Amino acid sequence: MATIQYLSHSAFLIKEDENTILIDPFITGNPNNVVKLEDLNPNYIVLTHAHGDHLGDAIEISRRNNALIICVNELGVYLSELGINNHKMHIGGAYNFPFGRLKFTIAHHGSSTNDGRYMGEPAGVVIQLKNKTIYHCGDTGLFLDMKLIGELNKIDVMLVPIGDNFTMGIDDAVIAVDFVNPELAIPMHYNTFPIISADPFEFKSKCEAINKKAKVLEFGEVLELS
């Protein structure tokens, strides 16, 4: 059985058998963080882009236990310069890892380090585990090709930003859920900073109004994917 834990912001920890996948580990400096950095020991780290609230503590965590960072090529080149173990990919490409198949999707956003170095395209990611498929949208606005993502993949869990300003707001996120048609939608990327304040329960109720299932996870909450 797989589990998914919402660490806050866009950070999630996915576990299945001996594999642990950490996505966008923004821990240090995150006002909503509820986990200790030293308690995170993933085999894999997936990065959707290089902004500080997504790259976060990935480098430190990878250095500590040699976790493989999976990311787009330009970000991977940067990590290689730092001696960080990484697997370079790009939008539309997929690869079979021990935990399953991973494919990067488009995302309408940006990607650069804090000092302004270009880090390639931002991305969403579709992760196919043994029996469940998870779509982490990354930071993105609404785009029509989300329909195609839903048509090509039976998405069990969709992790969707709702905080507005830098990403989709609630109303656009509900349309995105309608496009993808997942079994379950979970909101993310909200209430970390005042500028992305949003009510996740409003998102949940608006999804339910169009007959889409949504669940609000508390920070640190673990969900079993049965």
76: in domain: yes
Per cent of the chain over pLDDT 70 is 100
209: in domain: yes
Average of pLDDT values for 191-219?
98
User: Does pLDDT of 18 surpass 80?
Assistant: yes
pLDDT value at position 140?
98
158: in domain: yes
225: in domain: no
Owning domain of residue 45 = 2-217
pLDDT value at position 63?
97
User: Does pLDDT of 226 surpass 80?
Assistant: no
Tell me the pLDDT tens digit for each residue of 41-96.
Answer: 999 999 999 999 999 999 999 999 999 999 999 999 999 999 999 999 999 999 99
Q: Which residue is it, tokens 């009510």?
A: 199
Average of pLDDT values for 136-159?
98
pLDDT value at position 89?
98
Number of domains into which the chain is organized = 1
The chain-wide mean pLDDT, for the chain, equals 97
158 pLDDT band, cuts 50/70/90, is: very high
Q: Look up the CATH number of the domain holding residue 22.
A: 3.60.15.10
138: in domain: yes
224: in domain: no
21: in domain: yes
